[in-house]
Structures are given as structure tokens and as C-alpha cells.
Amino acid sequence: MRRFKLFLAIVLTLLLVSITLPSAAQGPTGVPVRRIVVFEGSALNEPAREALVRQFGGVVIKHLPLVSGMAVLLPPPSRSGPGPRAGGAPCRG
């Protein structure tokens, strides 16, 4: 019986940790997130790319010409649902 109680305590602890860790990993709300945005092809020039980032509330930190992208600060994701997306490859955040 003692082993069963120990096993049950361990299972409940692991369950509690698995529930709380994903929400803690999201970070504090209201803090901008740093991301790398990569543009496919050469259809947009630099000013148009910067305007696109600003349209989504982002701020360009640094240009990354080697990967045809830029490091940006984006506003925190909303808790109400997905925000606007510009198409292309799926977001891997």
C-alpha cells in the first residue's frame, strides 16, 4: 500500500508539472518577443520589408542579408486567438 501511495504522489506531481510548465514557458504578457523574419525570394525591396514588419507592429533590430531576413521585436501574441499572418511557410515559434 505504501508503494502505491508513493507512485500516486509521483504521478500527480508529474501531472501538475506538465500542466504548469507550458504556461510558464510563454513568458510574461505584455513583453515584446524577439524573432527572425526571413523573406522568400526578392519580390520586396528593403523599405517594403521594413514597412511590412511595421504593419504587424514590429520594430527592426538588425538586417540579416545572409539569410534574406531581419531580426525584429514583435508585440506579444494576443491571448484571444491568432493574429494576422502574411502567408508563406508556417510559423515556427
Q: What's the confidence (pLDDT) of residue 14?
A: 76
* Whole-number pLDDT of residue 39: 87
As a whole number of angstroms, the distance between CA 7 and CA 1 comes to 10
pLDDT, position 88: 47
Does the pTM surpass 0.85? The reply is: no
| pLDDT one-digit tens code per residue, 41-71 | 777 888 988 998 999 899 999 999 898 899 9
Q: What are phi and psi of 41, to 5 degrees?
A: 70, -175
**Of residues 78, 76, 71, 82, the one with CA closest to residue 49:** 71
